[in-house]
Structure 1
Amino acid sequence: MALTEEQAAIDAAVRKICGNFTDEYWTACETELRFPEEYYQAMAGAGFLGITMPEDLGGAGLGVTEAAIMMQAASSSGGGYSAASAIHINLFGPHAIVVHGTPEQKQRFLTPLIRGEEKACFGVTEPDAGLDTTSITTFAKRAPGGYRITGRKIWTSTAQVASKILILARTTPKDACRRPTDGLSLFFTDLDRSRIEVRRIHKLGRNAVDSNAVFIDDLFVREEDRIGEEGRGFHYLLDSLNPERILVAAESIGLGRDALARAARYARERVVFGRPIGQNQGIQHPLAECWIQLESAWWTCMRAASLYDAGKPCGAEANAAKFLGGRAAFDASTRAVLTHGGMGYAREYQVERLFRESILPRIAPVTEQLILSFIAEKVLDLPKSY
Structure 2
Amino acid sequence: MTSTNGGSEDLQAIREGVAAVCARFGDDYWGRCDDEATFPRDFHRAMAEGGWLGVTMPEAYGGAGLGVRAAGTVMHEVARHGGGMAAASSIHINMFGPHPLVVHGTEDQKSRWIPRLVSGEDQVCFGVTEPDAGLDTTNIKTFATKVDGGYSITGRKIWTSTAQVANKILILTRTTRREDCRKPTEGITVFYTDLDRSKVEVKRIPKHGRAAVDSNLTYYDELFVPDDHRIGEEGRGFYYLLDSLNPERILIALEAIGMGEDALDRAARYARERVVFGRPIGQNQAIQHPLAECWAKLEAARLMAERAADLYDSGQPCGAEANGAKLLGARAGYDACLQAVMTHGGMGYAKEYVVERLLREVMINRIAPVSEQMILSFIGERVLGLPKSY
* TM-score using structure 2 length: 0.98
Is 1:320 the equivalent of 2:320? no
> Gaps spanning 5+ residues in structure 1: where?
none
Q: Deviations over 1:106-125 (max 9, x none)?
A: 11121101001110000000
Is 1:14 the equivalent of 2:18? yes
Is 1:274 the equivalent of 2:278? yes
Look up the equivalent residue of 1:215 and give its one-letter code: Y
State the partner residue of 1:176: 180
Is 1:365 the equivalent of 2:347? no
Look up the equivalent residue of 2:110 and give its one-letter code: K
The 5 A counterparts of 1:45-56 are: 45-56=49-60
Is 1:115 the equivalent of 2:137? no
State the partner residue of 1:62: 66
State the partner residue of 1:214: 218
Look up the equivalent residue of 1:26 and give its one-letter code: W
State the partner residue of 2:296: 292
Give the 3-state SS of the residue equivalent to 2:243 in structure 1: helix
Look up the equivalent residue of 2:261 and give its one-letter code: R
Misfit runs of 4+, over 2 Å? none
Give the 3-state SS of the residue equivalent to 1:359 in structure 2: helix
Q: Deviations over 1:171-218 (max 9, x none)?
A: 000000000000000000000000000000000001110000000000
Look up the equivalent residue of 1:259 and give its one-letter code: A
Is 1:158 the equivalent of 2:162? yes
Aligned counterparts of 1:25 and 1:358: Cα–Cα separation in 2: 19
The Cα shift of 1:234 comes to 0.3
State the partner residue of 1:23: 27
State the partner residue of 2:336: 332
> What number of residue pairs does the alignment pair up?
385
The Cα shift of 1:358 comes to 1.5
Is 1:249 the equivalent of 2:257? no
The Cα shift of 1:347 comes to 0.3
The Cα shift of 1:65 comes to 0.1
What is the CA RMSD across the aligned residues, in angstroms? 0.8
The sequence identity of aligned pairs, in percent, is 65
State the partner residue of 1:265: 269
From 193, 208, 211, the equivalent of 1:189 is 193
Aligned counterparts of 1:15 and 1:263: Cα–Cα separation in 2: 20
Aligned counterparts of 2:54 and 2:329: Cα–Cα separation in 1: 24
The Cα shift of 1:373 comes to 0.1
The 5 A counterparts of 1:370-385 are: 370-385=374-389
The Cα shift of 1:359 comes to 1.0
Look up the equivalent residue of 1:81 and give its one-letter code: M
The Cα shift of 1:3 comes to 6.6
Aligned counterparts of 2:362 and 2:319: Cα–Cα separation in 1: 23
Aligned counterparts of 1:265 and 1:16: Cα–Cα separation in 2: 22
Is 1:129 the equivalent of 2:130? no
Give the 3-state SS of the residue equivalent to 1:342 in structure 2: helix
Give the 3-state SS of the residue equivalent to 1:358 in structure 2: helix
Q: Deviations over 1:93-145 (max 9, x none)?
A: 10011110001111112110100111000000000000000000000000000
Look up the equivalent residue of 1:205 and give its one-letter code: G
> Gaps spanning 5+ residues in structure 2: where?
1-5
* TM-score using structure 1 length: 0.99
The Cα shift of 1:149 comes to 0.2
Aligned counterparts of 1:286 and 1:197: Cα–Cα separation in 2: 47
Aligned counterparts of 1:108 and 1:363: Cα–Cα separation in 2: 34
